[in-house]
Amino acid sequence: MKKYLFTAVAAGLTLLVGCTKESYYHSLAVLYPSQGTMALSYADQPTDTLVFVTTDNFSISPDADWLAVPDSMKEGRIENYYRNVWQVTSVVLLTPNTTGKIRTGNLGIHTWGSDDWNQTASATYQQLPWLDVSRPVPAYAYEENRITGVAFVATDSATQVTDTLQFKVYGDWTLTDGKFVHPKVMSGEAGIISVAVDIDPKTDSAERRDSLTLTSCGVTTGIVFKQEKNK
């Protein structure tokens, strides 16, 4: 699989004009993640992408130890005799987030031209500390319009005896068994997964709770089952 790609971009892009007698043209712009946004990834996700356009030689450097690009992309030389704008695409390497906290890092992009023209840009990446669980639907906690946490809680009726888990994982996964909630499949390979669970019949009228733990690439995420009291 190719880890990077240089592609000439149509001349419709606006270029920045260097203040030199030669009037060379220079351009640097990050296409993904787009300006003012960040690339969001899940805790076990191993890769993301960086896409930018440039007319000049470049180097890429991370400011976090969990964020990297392949050695072949740490520095790139562009023999740009015709001043084309080149689109550069690189894989971004992520390590599993086992910190329990949301973490943010940046890839700095530095370019330099033949007339000593230098430019810099930055691409921001944020990695969540939980796995990509879609059922139960995630309930997010916010602070100042930023996600600070999440809870996965399935609410079942008092008479319900089955439910379903749905999630996407990037590595081999396992599920723990519960006290009264029992997954029909306890482990598997990476992919988009749907797992049926059996719920033991209630023996009293009180509300009850149980929990399962989903693990992928060393990252654990708790899933709670709440069964309502009898009406």
CATH number of the domain that residue 204 is part of: 2.60.40.10
Looking at the fold, whether 25 and 122 belong to one and the same domain comes out as: yes
Among candidate residues 188, 170, 172, 183, the one with its CA nearest the CA of residue 223: 183
Q: What is the pLDDT of residue 5?
A: 53
Sequence-ordered list of residues with C-beta below 8 angstroms from that of 43, at least 6 positions apart, any chain: 96, 97, 98, 127, 128, 129, 130, 131, 217, 219, 221
Write the pLDDT tens digit of every residue in 157-206.
Answer: 999 999 999 999 999 999 999 999 999 999 999 999 999 999 999 989 99
Same domain, 199 and 101: no
| pTM of the shown model | 0.86
Q: Are residues 118 and 181 in the same domain?
A: no
- Give me the residue label for tokens 């990050």: 30
Per residue in 52-100, pLDDT (tens digit) is 999 999 999 999 999 999 999 999 988 777 778 899 999 999 999 999 9
The whole-number average pLDDT for the span 9-14 is: 38
Are 51 and 156 contained in the same domain?
A: no
User: Which residues neighbour 194 within 8 Å (Cβ) at sequence distance 6 or greater?
Assistant: 164, 165, 166
Same-domain pairing of 79 and 145: no
Which residues neighbour 64 within 8 Å (Cβ) at sequence distance 6 or greater?
A: 103, 104, 105, 106
Are 170 and 210 found together in one domain?
yes
Per the DSSP assignment, residues forming a β-bridge with 62 are 107
Question: How confident is the model at residue 79, as a pLDDT?
Answer: 78
Domain end residue (candidates: 127, 154, 173): 127
- Four-CA torsion 4, 2, 72, 191, nearest 10 degrees: 90
Question: What pLDDT score does 3 carry?
Answer: 41
Does 147 share its domain with 120?
A: no
Residue 187, domain extent? 132-227
Q: Are residues 114 and 144 in the same domain?
A: no
Number of domains in the chain: 2
Task: Give me 118's structure tokens.
Answer: 């230098």
Q: 3-state class of 27 per DSSP?
A: coil
Query: Given a cut of 90, is residue 24 above it in pLDDT?
Result: no
Q: Do 75 and 116 have their domain in common?
A: yes
Helix (H) or strand (E) holding 231: none
The domain boundary, picked from 127, 157, 173, lies at: 127
**Nearest Cα to Cα of residue 118 among 4, 19, 7:** 19
End-of-domain residue from the set 127, 161, 176: 127
156 and 139 belong to one structural domain: yes
Please give the average per-residue pLDDT across 23-37, as a whole number: 85
Indicate whether 119 and 152 sit together in one domain. no
Co-location of 95 and 108 in the same domain: yes
- The secondary structure of 198-223 as a DSSP string is EEPPPSSSS-EEEEEEEEETTEEEEE
How far, in Å, CA of 217 to CA of 227, rounded?
30
pLDDT of res. 207: 96
Q: Which helix (H) or strand (E) holds 119?
A: strand 118-127
